[in-house]
């Protein structure tokens, strides 16, 4: 079993919500930030470099990767911010891209709205925004024996 804490769109805001998550970082196998506030993760990356993965969002200047794939328990997870795939207009382009890359799951941000839905056989998960735009949230995701269970957690 592998566990993930997935964050997005912190935008350098709401340090209180971010502080609440710090104890979880040590307990989980993966820490993923999906962009827009990637610099917020520098300290976390310094503490947990082997399990911290950071995307660069459309508001990030240079910190993080454009996209990457994590393999866990036989499941391929595409991680990206989502802006390149027009996720504010729907997830079909993102799902098609993930499928093209052989991924069963697409993790994305950008919309500031938490969402768990499937498109063309791809599970698309948005943890919502950690910033102070609306009710902050993150996603706790478990991958066990090929099964993926995402849970959106309000803060």
Rounded Cα distance, 53 and 29, in Å: 11
CA distances from 117 to 35, 92, 126, 148 (A): 20, 11, 9, 12
Handedness of CA 143, 144, 148, 151 (dihedral sign): negative
Give residue-wise pLDDT tens across range 17-61: 878 898 999 999 999 999 999 888 988 999 999 999 999 999 998
End-to-end distance of the chain based on CA atoms, in angstroms?
Answer: 24
pLDDT tens per residue across span 63-114: 899 999 999 999 999 999 999 999 999 999 999 999 999 999 999 999 999 9
Determine the pLDDT at residue 54: 97
Q: In this structure, what token pair is assigned to residue 47?
A: 């503490």
Distance CA 85, CA 44 (A): 27
pLDDT attached to residue 12: 84
How many CB atoms neighbour CB 23 within 10 A? 8
Indicate whether 155 pLDDT > 90: no
CATH number, domain 2-154, options 2.160.10.10, 3.90.1660.10, 3.40.50.970, 3.60.21.10: 3.60.21.10
- Measured CA to CA, the distance from residue 53 to residue 112 in angstroms comes to 19
Tell me if 56 sits within 8 A of 35, measured CB to CB: yes
How far, in Å, CA of 155 to CA of 136, rounded?
6
> From the centroid of its chain, how far is CA 26?
17
Residue 56: predicted pLDDT: 95
Domain boundaries, the chain: 2-154
């Amino acid at each position: 079993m592998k566990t993930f804490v997935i964050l997005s769109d912190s935008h350098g805001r709401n340090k209180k919500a971010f502080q609440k998550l710090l104890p979880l970082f040590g307990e989980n196998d993966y820490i993923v930030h999906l962009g827009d506030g990637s610099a917020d993760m520098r300290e976390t990356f310094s503490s947990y470099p082997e399990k911290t993965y950071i995307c660069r969002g459309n508001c990030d200047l240079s910190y993080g990767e454009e996209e990457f794939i994590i393999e866990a328990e036989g499941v391929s997870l595409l991680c990206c911010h989502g802006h390149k795939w027009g996720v504010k207009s729907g997830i079909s382009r993102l799902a098609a891209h993930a499928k093209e890359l052989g991924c069963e799951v697409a993790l994305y941000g950008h919309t500031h709205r938490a969402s768990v839905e499937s498109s063309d056989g791809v599970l698309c998960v948005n943890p919502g925004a950690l910033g102070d735009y609306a009710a902050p949230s993150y996603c706790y995701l478990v991958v066990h024996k090929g099964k993926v269970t995402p849970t959106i957690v309000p803060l």
